[in-house]
Chain A
Amino acid sequence: MKLTDHHPSPIARERAGYRKRQTVRSVLVAAASTGVLGTLLVLAVTGSPGWERVRQSFLDPRIGREALPEILTGLWLNVRLLFFCALGALALGLLVAVLRTLRGPVFFPVRALAAGYTYTFRGLPLIIVIYVLTLGVPGLRLQGMPPVLILGGIALVLTYGGYLAEVFRAGIESIHPSQLAAARSLGLTYRQTMRHVVLPQAVRRVAPPLLNDVVALQKDVGLVSLAGPIDAVRAAQIATAESFNYTPYIVAGVLFVLLAIPLIAVTDWVTLRAARRQAAR
């Protein structure tokens, strides 16, 4: 019988009708409760005794408009830093994770170095790494010292590379040994096994946590402003100091959220897809 030839029995139609009514009901309940909660929140905030004062110092449209160009200029720095630092940290993390899986006595120093790196940079506060690289390293007065912005970027890559290395390693170790056995039994070398069998599966599996760390990195790239370069938050701080009004911070905050939305959406999509794939088994 063809799919279209089927006429649902009365009982199936009754069930479908009931489910539809239930769905409509839940949507209505959700809309009502959201509306009530939202109204209460707005009333509580706008009805508070200090609301007028807070509105003036945090939500002044004129000051927000005036600060916007400076903040956008700063944000462009954030975006560029995020792009290069994310690529750098992903590459470094992957390299360190692979180095940590190498077996055999020859690789002991490499393994030890890679392990020491992840321990150190996951423990070390990012601010201190930035200070050491942007203030300490130029103090060496070596030839060809890169600008402070690059040094700050290196600090970010070093710190986030440590986190990402552990995420990659978790992914590599989650691949079942039978996959390695199958690859090696076909004559693939360790390198070929990693490249063609283990890493493609591992990276797919840990894509959600990796992207999560990239979202976190997006907020931390602004910390290079500690060394001088003006990012969005620093631009907002300057504007705030000039106007004695905090609105520029709110503007910067909104821009950061807008910037994060596409990244978070991609993360959610990847997570969902991974979950669907698992469920299909």
Chain B
Amino acid sequence: MSVPVLSCRGLRKVFGGHVVLDDLDLDVAEHEVVALIGASGSGKSTLLRCVNLLEEIDDGTIGLDGEHITDPRTDPDLVRRRIGIVFQSYNLFPHLRVLDNITLAPVRVHRRDRAEAEAQARELLARVGLAEKAGDYPDRLSGGQQQRVAIVRALVNSPRLLLLDEVTSALDPELVGEVLTMIRDLKADGMTMVLATHEMGFAREVADRVCFLDGGRVIEDGPPEQVLGEPTQPRTRQFLRRIIEAGRLQVG
């Protein structure tokens, strides 16, 4: 088997005496889509932030294409240029127009020609149906449109790995679909993705593997039909039962 794009070994992260990640292992192969599920506080978001080096881990290693990115001698800026992340609250830059939000990194970080970067940004925007929004400021856009811009912003750097942190949680239900469609298209293009999500139906549809996190560990890992349909762990069953009661997963 080839080297996994992402490889986490024995990750540990402590926040103020509270163990958030506890000896966590996770591998993600190229073109694979992994969905992280679990209750709030189970460590999904922390894991994604650690992988992007926004948080420093307390123990273990993270490998990106076989390179130890948690080695203090690696330059975190160089690592982040190979990983895209999309946040729950979009985090677009409110003082920049949509187009400038997208071209900031290509022009400033990757030193690409502005005209060329803008052409690429416009093309990506057109593909997600936001061509006419290029000149608008983010606060003029709906939540779903902002999140799609945020995804384009992460994609324009052609990352090896895309991390999606609860990207639909802040959206009104009727806006969730447009974002999910976009992620579905990304999967079709072969993008390697790790997504933390509460949308069990979506996890089932788009993920190659579903990982259930509890107490800072992956306690169940398998194809979506198995983890969401016939979970082996009692904690997973308990979690899914609560989700079904809350009406977020259709039975069967």
Contact = CB atoms under 8 A, between A and B. Distances in A.
Given A182-B93, A281-B139, A192 B108 contact: yes
Interface string B61-102: 000000000000000111011011101010111110000000
B109 A178 contact: no
Interface string A183-195: 1111111001000
B54 interface: yes
Contact of A187 (B87, B89, B95, B105): B105
Given A186-B109, A186-B157, A178 B104 contact: no
A280 B77 CA distance: 35
Contact of A197 (B54, B93, B139): B93
Q: Which of B76, B77, B84 has the most CB of A within 10 A?
A: B77
A187 B106 CA distance: 10
A181 interface: yes
A200 interface: yes
A20 interface: no
A181 B54 CA distance: 7
A156 B77 CA distance: 40
A236 to B, nearest CB: 44
A185 B108 contact: no
A179 B109 contact: no
A138 B81 CA distance: 54
Contacts of B157: 186-187
A201 interface: yes
B165 to A, nearest CB: 10
Nearest to A185: B85
B105 A204 contact: no
A197 B105 CA distance: 11
B52 interface: yes
Interface size class for chain A? 10 to 19
A196 interface: yes
A185 B54 CA distance: 7
Contacts of A201: 93-95
Interface residues of B, number: 27
B54 A186 contact: no
B122 interface: no
B87 A178 contact: yes
A187 B156 CA distance: 12
Q: Which of B54, B81, B93 has the most CB of A within 10 A?
A: B93
A204 B95 contact: yes
B93 A188 contact: no
Contacts of B204: none
A196 B104 contact: yes
Contacts of B95: 200-201, 204
A186 B91 contact: no
B105 A179 contact: no
Contact of A280 (B87, B93, B105, B139): B139
Contact of A196 (B81, B84, B108, B139): B108
A188 B109 contact: yes
Interface in A238-281: 280-281
A48 B94 CA distance: 59
Given A178-B89, A179-B93, A280-B139, A184 B108 contact: no
B148 interface: no
Contacts of A200: 95
Nearest to B85: A185
B38 to A, nearest CB: 21
Interface in A189-242: 189, 192, 196-197, 200-201, 204
B13 interface: no
Q: Which of A178, A187, A188, A204 has the most CB of B within 10 A?
A: A187
Contacts of B54: 181, 184-185
B108 A188 contact: yes
Given A178-B87, A192-B108, A281-B139, A187 B93 contact: no
Q: Which of B80, B87, B95 has the most CB of A within 10 A?
A: B95
A201 B94 CA distance: 8
B12 interface: no
Interface of A: 178-179, 181-189, 192, 196-197, 200-201, 204, 280-281
Interface of B: 49, 52, 54, 76-78, 80-81, 83-85, 87, 89, 91-95, 104-105, 108-110, 139, 153-154, 157
